[in-house]
Amino acid sequence: MLEILSKNPNICEYAIVESALAIPMNFTYRMIEPTFNLSYCLISKKWFSKLQFKSLKLKNSLFDMYYEDTCKITKNNLIAFMKSNSSYELKDTLSHTRAKVLVLVGSKERPIMKKLATKIANLIPNSELDILQGYYHGDISINHADDYVERIKRLVH
């Protein structure tokens, strides 16, 4: 979402940015390929998937879909996704967006995520930062859909 808004200031009227990693994580980037080359075979193991799932703090009812989707991700795609995510850098042109933007971050996320949410909200002129008390990374859109929808309604009205 951040990249789209930074490239085209008129692309949309409203946007939500949730738990965005927007600075390069150089060490993480360098470790992705060797780590996944060694551990990719574990992805299809249900016990390993349950450990990953638990660390994401998702609703238990979502595990079967999570496991099914995880098993379908190729190693190359997973590596590409992780590298892209860990190398993204916030663009100054984001400040040109005309969209009204709601920036969401959970209070239980890593401090860097809250710092980045503040930075993003400060960069976007027509934005609002909402630190979600008691929420984890990506928690609202996945585990609290009703709350997420209410925030969307408030954003567009």
pLDDT for res 105: 98
The Cα 157–Cα 151 span in angstroms is 10
89 three-class SS: coil
pLDDT for res 35: 95
pLDDT for res 63: 96
Q: Is residue 89 within 8 Å of residue 22, measured between CB atoms?
A: yes
pTM, full prediction: 0.89
User: Cα Rg for the chain, rounded, in angstroms?
Assistant: 17
56 three-class SS: coil
DSSP 59-103: -GGGHHHHHHHHHH--HHHHHHHHHHHHH----GGGGG--SEEEE
How far from chain centre, in Å, is Cα 35? 21
The parts of the chain modelled with pLDDT lower than 50 are: none
Token look-up 């390069």 returns 24
pLDDT for res 36: 94
pLDDT for res 30: 97
Comparing CA positions, the residue from 111, 123, 103, 105 lying closest to residue 14 is 103
Q: Is residue 73 within 8 Å of residue 41, measured between CB atoms?
A: no
